[in-house]
Structure 1
Amino acid sequence: MKWVDRVGRHLKLRDLHILLAVVRLGSMAKAAAELAISQPAVSKAIADMEHMFGLRLLDRSRSGIEPTAYGRALVTRGHAIFDELKHGVEELAFLSDPTVGDLRIGSTESVAAGFLPAVIKRFSLEQPRVRLDVAQAVMSTLHYRELRERSIDLLIGRIPVPFDEDDLEAAVVYNDDTVVIAGRQSKWAKSRKLMLTDLAGERWILPPPDTMQGSLAPKLFRDSGSEMPHAPITTLSIHLCLRLVAGGQFVTMLPASVLGFGNRDESLKVLPINIPVRRRPVAIVTLKNRTRSPAAKLFIECVHRTAREDAKAPRSARSEK
């Protein structure tokens, strides 16, 4: 406890901020230039911290500067400290004026093409002075990296079941079906009943196999008794996918919500194919034990309200799914 108390009395936020900059830039000189201080001041701040902890925080080599295991642990906690301070300042600003704020949102491509615009439309009317920064997030081997690095406040997207991320929590917003889509001019558009095997020879557009949606495709075809079709195009761009499918040359498989939430497109047709897969949950994913900003709380409430009201809407009032 004496060691902890000693550090608590002597650790300076300025020195911690300098350490974060050095690790991020991989150079004391670059950190000094960015922070507009001298390089000796940077070196002294790091040396003071290493002396205080009695541990080496950085390894210096010809290729640059890398954090030691101790340095990485401190940097991780340092990001959390400054993130909490940022939210504290935002909350003070919110208490003085509850109509302003900033929010960084990560969204998968399919959610950004369907559900998210409906949420933002509502939220921007209710909170016109809250600024939203929306970034595309890819559910792949690096999924949730942006959340863990705190470059976004929350993420909206499809999640796997079960959700096995110890440091994250996921609040399910709605469950999404998977549908097969063709152009209105396609020879399949007037069919009343189809199977995936009927489209085995078609030109498919599919997501990359290293993404969550792309990894599902082989199982869907296999469970339907069909071999994996030839896909001359793989893409994560929903806009590109829908434009190409609308021309009648291609077919694709997408989350049903892409054509829901008011995004009706008369050039597209959902084909009458029963996809043998359980509905996939779309959720808001956040870091556990991270203080949510007032703007984040308002936005999350708006997300759930938008989903609830769409679920209550009469089927005739919704877009074709």
Structure 2
Amino acid sequence: MTREFDVVQLDVHHLRVMRAIADTGSLSRAAIALGVTQPAVSAQLKRLENMLGYQLFDRGEGGVTPTPMGELLLRRIAALLPQLDNLLEDIEQRVCPSGPPDVVRVVAVASALVARLPSLVTRLWPEVSEVQVVHDDHPERLLPLLAQRRAELGLVKDYPGHELEIPASVDTAVVVTEPTFVLLPEFHPLAHKEIIDLSELRDESWVMVSDSSATTFTRYFTETCARHGFSPSVSHQVTSQQVALLVVRAGAIGLSQPICDPRNLGLVTRPLRGDVLPRRHILAWNRETFVAGRQAELLAAVVEAYWAEARTAPVYARYLDSRGPRPDDG
């Protein structure tokens, strides 16, 4: 008897599910690869098998293997999917305008620049009606969103020796390499100094933010202290910078971005001699989106915004003045 089914119902998603199951050897791993739940993969496979009237995979304790009909379909999928992907890409390039979308999505780690991003984007692209900023202190989760075109812009940070892994489709530019400042209670004996040697803090009690997003910086900090001949005593591990400020006010030592100025909280920030803990602010975008055509203008605007914000922090402003004019000061 001839089996009949509506071939129109066989869509690209079915093909991707089939390939993911075959590539990973299990429904659970296929679900992870596709970014969906295992029940969703199981339901998709069941619908496809019902539609075709054939079992496509044999289930076993060690995973799944394609049936003869499954192997036949997979051979066709291997030839068909690349062509479909190219077709969809061609359609997207024709349907999507070269200019920005109505809603621009920005992904960013915590920094003083984040609040300036919406007005900066709408100034450069007046046709943008809304800017949505997604905050996440895990840059390794943000950069893939740019690669997948789920966001248009990114602002992240990294550290020397701990550089970020950049997806192939993403371009980046360094906004600024800035120092890390030390954070002290205003009654601390070193608070009167204009600049502090890291080695002077070898016997201090430190507070560090301990969530997973700070793991890289903590390792970077510990390695830097080791090069200065000591292992820091991190006696306070907190979940946010706000809590860290309270602990510093009680007598511990912390670290801070130089633009942050907690002078109204009974605290002071001071630069470290030799700029021993530099960090980079990095602008990122997908090179195949509208951003690529005006990335130089965008970068210039972000750099300008950074230095304007830097001048609002008195200690950082004095530090910058002591270093002389920047190359972009004219």
Short-chain TM bin: 0.5 to 0.7
In percent, how many aligned pairs have the same letter? 15
Aligned residues: 278
The Cα RMSD (Å) is 4.9
- 1:118 paired to 2:120: no
Contact 1:157 1:284 in 2 (8 A): yes
Deviates more, 1:64-73 or 1:167-176: 64-73
State the alpha-carbon separation in 1 of the partners of residues 84 and 12 from structure 2. Answer: 7
Q: Deviations over 1:96-137 (max 9, x none)?
A: xx7x6223322223x2xx121123344456757223141304
Q: Report SS of the residue matched to 1:274.
A: coil
Q: Report SS of the residue matched to 1:205.
A: strand
Deviates more, 1:38-47 or 1:187-196: 38-47
Q: CA separation of 1:164/1:264 partners in 2, compared to 1, >3 Å: closer, same or farther?
A: same
Q: Report SS of the residue matched to 1:231.
A: strand
TM-score if structure 2 supplies the norm length?
Answer: 0.61
Q: CA separation of 1:17/1:304 partners in 2, compared to 1, >3 Å: closer, same or farther?
A: farther
- 1:238 paired to 2:238: no
Higher relative contact order at CA 8 Å, sep ≥6: structure 1 or structure 2? 1
Structure 2: stretches of 5+ with no match in the other structure: 1-6, 18-30, 317-330
Q: Deviations over 1:242-264 (max 9, x none)?
A: 3443x34322123324x2xxx67
Q: CA separation of 1:238/1:74 partners in 2, compared to 1, >3 Å: closer, same or farther?
A: farther
How far off its partner does 1:284 sit? Answer: 1.6
Counterpart amino acid of 1:221?
A: C
Q: Which structure would you say has the larger Rg?
A: 2
Structure 1: stretches of 5+ with no match in the other structure: 1-10, 33-37, 48-55
Residue 300 of structure 2 corresponds to which residue in structure 1?
Answer: 304
Residue 108 of structure 1 corresponds to which residue in structure 2?
Answer: 109
Q: CA separation of 1:300/1:219 partners in 2, compared to 1, >3 Å: closer, same or farther?
A: same
Q: Report SS of the residue matched to 1:320.
A: helix
Q: Report SS of the residue matched to 1:91.
A: coil
State the alpha-carbon separation in 1 of the partners of residues 83 and 256 from structure 2. Answer: 39
Q: CA separation of 1:205/1:62 partners in 2, compared to 1, >3 Å: closer, same or farther?
A: same
Q: Following superposition of structure 1 onto structure 2, how do residues 1-321 of structure 1 map, counting pairs within 5 Å?
A: 15-19=11-15, 23=34, 24-27=36-39, 40=47, 44=51, 89-91=95-97, 101-109=102-110, 111=111, 114-123=112-121, 127=126, 129-139=129-139, 144-161=143-160, 165=166, 167=168, 168-208=170-210, 211-235=215-239, 237-245=240-248, 247-257=249-259, 259=260, 265-267=263-265, 268-277=267-276, 279-287=278-286, 290-293=287-290, 301-302=297-298, 304-308=300-304, 310-311=306-307, 318-321=313-316
Q: CA separation of 1:144/1:125 partners in 2, compared to 1, >3 Å: closer, same or farther?
A: closer
Q: CA separation of 1:275/1:204 partners in 2, compared to 1, >3 Å: closer, same or farther?
A: farther
State the alpha-carbon separation in 1 of the partners of residues 50 and 263 from structure 2. Answer: 60
How far off its partner does 1:81 sit? Answer: 7.9
